[in-house]
Structure 1
Amino acid sequence: MRDENALFARLAQSPFRRRFHLGAKERQYCIDKGPAVIGQHAADFIQQRLAAAEPRNDGKQTPMRGHPVFIAQHATATCCRGCLAKWHGIAAHQPLTAEQQHYIGQVIHRWLVEEMNR
């Protein structure tokens, strides 16, 4: 896992990653649900879609829209095990530890907070 400040600096250099932003609907969803609920959604998505050593439909398991966390996952390269390996140094083909899942949640949370304050 990498230093978050260095990670966000690298993400800002990627034309693909920096094109992701919350729309009005996703912003309102974050406001309506609040950080605790959104954080729990992120934890659930990480557990259900990423934590297994070989996630189902890996590389295609995270929709591009429909929930603020999905958008954040693409913006932060936490959308699939390949991106986690490339951008975060989290090896594929082995289950995510609780510490790794927590880190991924923190990265998503940071992006959402920065996006909501943009």
Structure 2
Amino acid sequence: MMEELEARLHRIGLHHFRARFRLRGRDRAVVDLRGITTVHRHAEELVERRLAPAEPRNDGRQAPYRGHPVFVAQHATATCCRTCLARWHDIPAGRALDDAEQGYVVEAICRWTVGQYAPHSPPP
């Protein structure tokens, strides 16, 4: 399953729109100051509150483009709304996400964030 996630994230990262997202400035500073463990917890909370319901409030517009590394990662990994989850991750809209699906989304977000934050990443 995790190899499949890596392959899917690679494919998503090749998409012109998705490839433009990078962890920069203030969003990167949140990871510096709070650490990846805290960002992981924030991802769990944001996914549960904003993405997991069957019909999320403002679906398609609930994830800002910046302001927190999780929001940037959601756009980069196509986990920003239920339409993108259905299109890119084969997770159907119209029903609540189960625990495994929420975990999958959080894992995608955190893998991208760690990849952006890795020492071999170019500076912002």
Q: Which range, TM-score by smaller chain?
A: over 0.9
Q: How does 1:2-41 map to 2 (within 5 A)?
A: 3-41=4-42
Alpha-carbon shift at residue 89 of structure 1 (Å): 0.4
Alpha-carbon shift at residue 27 of structure 1 (Å): 1.4
CA offset digits 1:59-117 (Å, max 9, x no partner): 01110110010000000000000000000000000000000000100000000000001
Distance 1:12 1:93 in 2: 26
Alpha-carbon shift at residue 9 of structure 1 (Å): 2.0
CA offset digits 1:13-38 (Å, max 9, x no partner): 20000000011221121011011111
Unaligned 5+ segments in structure 2 are none
Unaligned 5+ segments in structure 1 are none
Normalized against structure 1, the TM-score is what?
0.95
Q: How does 1:37-52 map to 2 (within 5 A)?
A: 37-52=38-53
Contact 2:63 2:71 in 1 (8 A): yes
Contact 2:26 2:67 in 1 (8 A): no
Q: How does 1:26-105 map to 2 (within 5 A)?
A: 26-105=27-106
Distance 1:73 1:81 in 2: 11
Normalized against structure 2, the TM-score is what?
0.91
Q: Secondary structure at the match of 2:36?
A: helix
Distance 2:78 2:44 in 1: 16
| Runs of 4+ more than 6 Å apart | none
Distance 2:50 2:102 in 1: 11
